[in-house]
Amino acid sequence: MHFLDQAKIYVRAGSGGPGAVSFRREKYVEYGGPDGGNGGKGGDIVFEAVAGLNTLIDFRYTQHFKAPRGGHGMGKNRNGAGGNDLVVKVPVGTQIISDEDRETVLADLTEAGQRVVFLEGGLGGRGNASYKTSTNRAPRQHQPGITGEEMWVWLRLKLLADAGLVGLPNAGKSTFINKITNTKAKVGDYAFTTLRPQLGVVSHKGREFVLADIPGLIEGAADGAGVGDRFLGHIERCRVLIHLIDVHGTDPVEAMDIVEAELEAYGGGLDEKPRLVALNKIDLVDAELVEAFSRELKEAGADEVFPISGASGAGIQALLDAVISYLPAATVTERPDGEREEQDDTPWSPI
């Protein structure tokens, strides 16, 4: 399945049905009169977030969504049928953005099953029976029904993940996420192996959380260099970021500064999120060099450095312990014997 995180669509609610102009003409009925019914209400445009979707690719091929209009009013005081609502199903984490400035968020669907009535259908028109008065016994006026709302909007998907991976290209992010999840991310010995965000579920010490991997950042990404910063939106909702640094590549301090600068330039609160710095590929260098680089990174501003190897798995357990400390703890867990115990909410702290 192709990944698409932005799409422009046209939505139009149904118009109200027109009211009817009708008069009773039954045989043996002494007094006739107007009996035109009202028109039905047009259908609404409803957006619904559904689980199991993680791309907007369907909206590349279907871009126009029009709800049905209301039915016509009829004689014998019969009102027209209301138009059915049109439900547009989108992935969880989808934002509906105004087409005018492409910045104003009109709706944000962050939970599975969440529904938003985005455009309301037009009201049906009045039939001539509703105009009857003591002085106007045979009215012929009626209303045509109100036109339904319509507009162009942008859909923007921001994947929902608990933790996000950032780093320069070839920092080992794909190898790392493949090691701790069932994701089969592409791994290659060249820059920008990852071209689209990847999601994986991590199971650690009876807990599960979602980890997001985005394409690597390079200097100038905020200005469009490399794949730019368009995928940074997918980690805006993360509670904690894991910054992977290649100990066998560029100077680690320089690599950290480049990524931090791009996160700050992007904004969106990314520079304020908790950061766990992981010195990756320690299996390729000696312990002294790892210790020296760890010390330099702490002096450059890193709170704590986790030496790890995405290939061998060394040090990963300690890193995952730190990630879990930033996630909301479940209130209880189920023991094998069926008893229930309270979770330990004591926050993790580095030694």
Residue appearing with tokens 């807990």: 207
Residue 309 marked in a binding site: yes
Q: How many residues belong to the chain?
A: 351
- Residue 298, annotated as binding a ligand: no
Cβ-based neighbours of 257, under 8 Å, separated by 6 or more: 300
Per the annotation, does 282 bind a ligand? yes
Known binding residue 129? Answer is no
Q: Is 267 left (phi over 0), alpha (psi -120 to 50) or beta?
A: left
Annotated ligand binding at 174? The verdict is: yes
267: which DSSP letter? Answer: -
Q: Which long-range contacts (CB under 8 A, 24 or more apart) does 100-108 make?
A: 102/154, 106/153, 107/47
Q: At 338, is the secondary structure helix, strand, or coil?
A: coil
**Is 215 annotated as contributing to ligand binding?**
yes
9 is annotated as contributing to ligand binding? no
Q: Which residue type does 76 have?
A: K
Query: What gap in Å lies between CA 131 and CA 304, rounded to an integer?
Result: 77
Order across the sheet with 45-50: list the strands.
86-91, 45-50, 115-119
> 226 labelled as ligand-binding?
no
Residue 311, annotated ligand binder? yes
169 is in an annotated binding site: yes
Would you tell me how many other CB atoms lie within 10 Å of the CB of residue 220?
Answer: 15
Is 98 labeled as ligand-binding? no
Per the annotation, does 293 bind a ligand?
Answer: no
89 annotated ligand-binding residue: no
281 annotated ligand binder: yes
168 is in an annotated binding site: yes
**Distance, CA of 236 to CA of 194 (rounded, Å):** 19
> What SS3 class is residue 166?
strand
Evaluate whether 276 touches 211 at the Cβ level (below 8 Å).
no
Beta-bridge mates of residue 246: 280
Residue 52 assigned ligand-binding role: no
Residues annotated in a binding site for GTP = 167-174, 192-196, 213-216, 280-283, 309-311
Residues annotated in a binding site for Mg(2+) = 174, 194
Residues annotated in a binding site = 167-174, 192-196, 213-216, 280-283, 309-311
